[in-house]
Amino acid sequence: MTLALALTPYVYGLGFFMMAAGLLIALTSRHLIKRLIGLGVFQTSAGVFYILLSKVSGGTAAIRLEADSPAARSLASRLDAAYIATHGVDGVVYSNPLPHVLILTAIVVGAATLAVGLSIIVRIRETYGTVDFEELAALEAKALRDGREDEA
């Protein structure tokens, strides 16, 4: 347990670092596609946080084994009986399946929304001829200036 205690700030810290780094890529990169990739990293890191919470030490995947089957017994031989009695279900310790369900669908939905973002980028490139954020900002500023001159 002391080892798990020492690992706790490290693993959560890495998860938070990945989240912050993904956000940084999404906010600062000049290429729009890299911005979307950064957003993808941010999203995946949110999933990492969920999965970190779901892990149970000594647990196995949440696919129910039959009580006293050879697989269940071989898993049980690695842990002490008291631990299994407190935290196990029918003699086997499982990790929490609920975050898995949430993240599983989030990944597929994430890919679909990534496609929407990319198609917006494709349209931007076709309309303005660039996907560079700075150039697009310059184009926008120029369009605004021109519009103001027209009004005057």
Partner 1 sequence: MTRLLAAPEAELVFAALLLTLLAGLVLALLAARSVLTCILLMSVFSLTMALWLMVMDAPDVAFTEASVGAGVSTMILLGAALSSTDVIPSVRPGRFWFPAVACLAAFIGMALALSDLPVFGDPGSPPSSYVGRLYLEHTPHDIGAPNVVTAVLASYRGFDTLGETSVILAAGVGVLLLLGGSLNSRDPVSEDVSLRISAGSPVLSVAARLLIPIICLYAFYVLAHGEFGAGGGFQAGVILAAALILHALVFGVRETMRALPVGVVRSCAALGVLGYASIGFIAILHGGRFLDYDALLSPVFEAGLPSSHLAGGHHHWGQRLGILGIETGVMLAVASTMTAIFYAFAGRVSRSDEAGAA
CA dihedral of 86, 92, 97, 98, whole degrees rounded to 10: -30
66 vs 146 by CB, closer to partner 1: 66
Least CB distance to partner 1 at residue 78 (A): 4
Least CB distance to partner 1 at residue 86 (A): 7
Measured distance CA(135)–CA(72) in Å, rounded: 61
30 vs 145 by CB, closer to partner 1: 30
Least CB distance to partner 1 at residue 145 (A): 20
Measured distance CA(134)–CA(124) in Å, rounded: 13
71 vs 143 by CB, closer to partner 1: 71
Least CB distance to partner 1 at residue 84 (A): 10
Least CB distance to partner 1 at residue 35 (A): 10
Query: Closest Cα partner for 52 from 104, 105, 14, 91?
Result: 14
Measured distance CA(31)–CA(124) in Å, rounded: 12
62 vs 139 by CB, closer to partner 1: 62
DSSP string, 26-59: HHH-SBHHHHHHHHHHHHHHHHHHHHHHH--TT-
3 vs 152 by CB, closer to partner 1: 3
Contact 24, 127 (CB under 8 A): no
